[in-house]
Chains A and B, each alone.
Chain A
Amino acid sequence: EAGVAQSPRYKIIEKRQSVAFWCNPISGHATLYWYQQILGQGPKLLIQFQNNGVVDDSQLPKDRFSAERLKGVDSTLKIQPAKLEDSAVYLCASSSTGATEAFFGQGTRLTVV
């Protein structure tokens, strides 16, 4: 079974530029999560989708971050414009209905200079 796929693995951009990350969850997984992991900290949930609907985006900085999961499968997380403090690893995770764990992708490491 293929795992959670994320791309790109690494991205370097200048502040005020925009960037997008892509996530393809495990086939059949209805729930998808985006986490932000700043160096030296644990991951922090940004947004949770159930199929193509948002369940929780309370910790998403909506003035610059957006996310979508239009067809209920893959998802895109966008930052526009980026700030230096957005430098982090962005992790995508998915889980199936009734499952008691989530599976994580390898993450996208973003460096804002």
Chain B
Amino acid sequence: AQSVTQLDSQVPVFEEAPVELRCNYSSSVSVYLFWYVQYPNQGLQLLLKYLSGSTLVKGINGFEAEFNKSQTSFHLRKPSVHISDTAEYFCAVSGANAGGTSYGKLTFGQGTILTVHP
């Protein structure tokens, strides 16, 4: 079984400031990690994913995340945020199982609402 904990339910920040959204996971199998963004009344859009290889992953809109296996974390960062980054962000995991890996079979965290103030 897998679980995901997003440590902050809300993160307020001023425009052009850096931001970090924290995510920790637990799993008994190898995991694949994702960050999704959800704008109001919209579906989920993939920001970035970690499958293997380099632990620093770059995504869309200037976001990046670092996979830390020893700390079971996958924190999302952006060096300078914009008003348009205001949204809810979800960390998610999928895991290998006997039937193979379904990358869309996801366990999500509770979400972090990022609010960027002018």
Contacts and interface: CB of A to CB of B under 8 A. Distances in A.
Contacts of A33: 104-105
Interface of B: 4, 32, 34, 36, 41-46, 49, 51, 90, 92, 99, 102-111
Interface stretch (A11-19, A63-71, A78-86, A94-102): A94-102
Contacts of B111: 40-42
Contact of B90 (A42, A105, A106): A42
Interface in A7-53: 31, 33, 40-45, 48
A105 B34 CA distance: 17
A44 B108 contact: yes
A94 B105 CA distance: 10
A37 B90 CA distance: 12
Nearest to B110: A42
